[in-house]
């Protein structure tokens, strides 16, 4: 944990005030994490959206389609299921979870993942293991925890799917937010590798991350899993950046 005392305080607050909305802090009695007003600030993505990366498309398209971002490159994953935009309360929750020491928010964020796991693309074939996108050891020391790993642990218990920490991040990459898609892909090349003594041969895997932006990170991780003999590689994220 980045700050154990702050995390403990947050956990205690949550224990004593479980009925307050985690978005606005207002009391509510619905027994859910978020009040209706907060939840409405990050609505679910409606069709049509890209069947590969879940990117929404404005306009009328019938049936399945791929967006230009996916169409012109050979992606190593079968699909990324990401059914909410990272805006409004959801963007705020993810930020507080990753950078603000609000570790307890992993539970509400997992609710979004559980909903995504119901998507037909993830239900079509059984999932053998969840594979969280790893952080570089230096970044892990800075942040105190791996957000994808923390979410995978909670989702594992709720969805009854084991977690496999089988990828490691070898290269410390600079923050990618300034980069365009091509720069991100070059920046990430060979950043990931299969961990020693990991065996994914023949398995149906689902990569897990907090947010998808261009999909380059998930693509690079999927390449590693495919090369190691995984039968299928899909991915799930809390939201689209
Ligand atoms: Zn609220
Ligand atoms: Zn796409």
Q: How far apart are CA 227 and CA 241, in angstroms?
A: 28
The CA 121 to ligand 2 mean position distance, Å, reads 14
Contacts of 71 (CB under 8 A, 6+ apart): none
The CA 106 to ligand 2 mean position distance, Å, reads 27
Give 130's pLDDT tier (boundaries 50, 70, 90): very high
Q: At residue 229, does pLDDT exceed 90?
A: yes
The CA 36 to ligand 2 mean position distance, Å, reads 30
- Position 1 scores a pLDDT of 45
pLDDT tens string 12-27: 666 655 578 999 998 8
Which of 32-41, 63-72, 133-142, 145-154 ranks highest by mean pLDDT? 145-154
- Position 17 scores a pLDDT of 52
Distance of CA 206 to the CA centre of its chain: 10
Q: At residue 9, does pLDDT exceed 80?
A: no
- Position 128 scores a pLDDT of 98
Give 73's pLDDT tier (boundaries 50, 70, 90): confident
The CA 49 to ligand 2 mean position distance, Å, reads 8
The CA 36 to ligand 1 mean position distance, Å, reads 7
Range with lowest mean pLDDT among 74-88, 106-120, 172-186, 203-217: 172-186
Cα-only R_g, the chain: 18
The CA 16 to ligand 1 mean position distance, Å, reads 17
* Exposure string for 145-178, b = 16+ CB within 10 A, e = fewer: bbbbbbbbbbbbeebebebbbbbbbeeeeeeeee
Range with lowest mean pLDDT among 85-89, 135-139, 172-176: 172-176
The CA 33 to ligand 1 mean position distance, Å, reads 8
Ligand nearest to the CA of 53: 2
- Position 27 scores a pLDDT of 87
Ligand nearest to the CA of 71: 2
Mean pLDDT of 48-58: 90
The CA 204 to ligand 2 mean position distance, Å, reads 21
The CA 69 to ligand 2 mean position distance, Å, reads 5
Q: At residue 86, does pLDDT exceed 60?
A: yes
Ligand nearest to the CA of 37: 1
The CA 149 to ligand 2 mean position distance, Å, reads 25
Q: At residue 49, does pLDDT exceed 70?
A: yes
- Position 65 scores a pLDDT of 74
- Position 2 scores a pLDDT of 53
Ligand nearest to the CA of 88: 1
The CA 39 to ligand 1 mean position distance, Å, reads 7
The CA 100 to ligand 1 mean position distance, Å, reads 18
pLDDT tens string 141-191: 999 999 999 999 999 999 999 999 999 999 887 665 666 777 777 777 889
The CA 156 to ligand 1 mean position distance, Å, reads 27
Ligand nearest to the CA of 81: 2
Alpha helical stretches, state H, 27-134: 36-39, 68-71, 88-99, 106-117, 120-123
């Amino acid at each position: 944990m980045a700050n154990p005392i702050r995390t403990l305080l947050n956990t205690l607050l949550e224990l004593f005030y479980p009925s307050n909305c985690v978005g606005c802090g207002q009391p509510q009695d619905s027994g859910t994490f978020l009040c209706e007003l907060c939840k409405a600030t990050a609505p679910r993505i409606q069709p049509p959206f890209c069947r590969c990366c879940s990117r929404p498309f404005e306009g009328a398209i019938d049936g399945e389609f791929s967006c230009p971002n996916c169409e012109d490159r050979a992606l190593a994953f079968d699909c990324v299921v990401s059914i909410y935009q990272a805006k409004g309360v959801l963007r705020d929750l993810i930020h507080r979870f990753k950078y603000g020491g609000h570790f307890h928010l992993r539970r509400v964020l997992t609710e979004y993942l559980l909903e995504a796991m119901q998507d037909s693309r993830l239900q079509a074939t059984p999932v053998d293991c969840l594979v969280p996108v790893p952080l570089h050891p230096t970044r892990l020391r800075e942040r105190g925890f791996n957000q994808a790993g923390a979410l995978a642990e909670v989702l594992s218990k709720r969805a009854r799917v084991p977690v496999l920490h089988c990828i490691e991040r070898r290269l410390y990459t600079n923050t990618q937010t300034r980069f365009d898609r091509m720069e991100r892909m070059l920046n990430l090349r060979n950043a990931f590798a299969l961990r020693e003594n990991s065996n994914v041969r023949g398995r149906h895997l689902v990569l897990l991350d907090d947010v998808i932006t261009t999909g380059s990170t998930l693509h690079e991780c999927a390449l590693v899993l495919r090369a190691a003999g995984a039968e299928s590689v899909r991915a799930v994220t809390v939201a689209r950046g």
